[in-house]
Structure 1
């Protein structure tokens, strides 16, 4: 069905979310611990409401199909960085491997530094989500959560947990470290969902 000739095109969403400033840097924010994780010792386990609870070592991860995504990232501390090139395993492929059950609605990421954060499965299933091992052509550094970290670019960066070691699939929400300390549960940068 064609639009009436006087219909105005829908405005595009701005690239820079409200309240953000653009930077060329990649600031480092964490809980004060940057755990050293050698890829040969790295493991990722999955439990909860999935049909295939995995236990991957580094080679298992490398054996998956890899993709490259270029995305912007947005931190709750008001910086944004454009055109980050990530390589790794797409969120969609990861979900196709672990096979969440129908009752599963949320994922909780558990990190080596004790950090946790919660994400709806539908947010992790987005087109640009990746479990990345490479940023801008280099392995993700320890300071930035290497050897792997999920990147969920349409949410504030605290939802893209560093040093992930375990993911739990649940039928209900389970707010994580920052969410129980006053951060917004959904974390949409374009709605400025910084604090609850």
Structure 2
């Protein structure tokens, strides 16, 4: 094919032989590359500032806000939680897409069950170890079937470049919503736009609606 997005081979298909893996719904589309995106096999490294070096022995995750039982997990405790695998594509707002990733970690639904989300909680604020960087998500996006707190990618531990020890992965949104170097999750009643959202990025970040910037509002259903 002449189309450059197919010159590096057909995209990896969902892994039907593994009954334990969660298949992200976007990987079932006939066209898996959203409008305005180009496919890459590489995994580019992008961040707002310097890359924090967080040792596993010093890492912890705090879950707080409108929950019944606020909790803090250290690395050992996090590793003891139930694990999941997710097969998904990954779309960056800078217009590249990496198809067919396997993420491993703890489902966001597991975290929600352990802390007990209160009815008033409508949004989640994810904070990274990189100088208080945050991003915001509606609770229903955070609790998507394919969303997880990830520490392995394609069978290998995450590197610091890509958010180690743990990053959030929300496959159905642009990658900046998948907060790297995850430090805390806070459930809140009112939305609180994060670092990039305050800087002009779209508050929702749906790649199929090309919601890159605050001005980019395309009617729901576009491209589906």
TM-score range normalised by the length of the shorter chain: over 0.9
Q: Residue 4 of structure 1 aligns with which residue?
A: none
Match of 2:115 among 61, 77, 98: 98
Cα distance in 2 between the residues matched to 1:50 and 1:78: 36
Cα distance in 2 between the residues matched to 1:46 and 1:90: 14
Q: Residue 178 of structure 1 aligns with which residue?
A: 196
Structure 1: 5+ residue runs without aligned partners? Answer: 1-11
User: Where do 4+ consecutive residues of structure 1 move more than 6 Å?
Assistant: none
Match of 1:160 among 167, 178, 192: 178
- CA deviations on 1:142-169 (whole Å, 9 max, x unpaired) are 0000011010000000000111111111
Q: Residue 69 of structure 1 aligns with which residue?
A: 86
Q: Residue 10 of structure 2 aligns with which residue?
A: none
Match of 1:26 among 43, 46, 63: 43
Residue 106 of structure 1, CA deviation: 0.3
Cα distance in 2 between the residues matched to 1:92 and 1:15: 25
Q: Residue 8 of structure 1 aligns with which residue?
A: none
Q: Residue 123 of structure 1 aligns with which residue?
A: 141
Q: Are residues 1:49 and 2:66 paired?
A: yes
**How many correspondences in the alignment?**
185
Residue 14 of structure 1, CA deviation: 3.0
Cα distance in 2 between the residues matched to 1:40 and 1:158: 26
Residue 13 of structure 1, CA deviation: 6.4
Cα distance in 1 between the residues matched to 2:117 and 2:105: 20
Residue 95 of structure 1, CA deviation: 1.1
Structure 2: 5+ residue runs without aligned partners? Answer: 1-28, 215-224
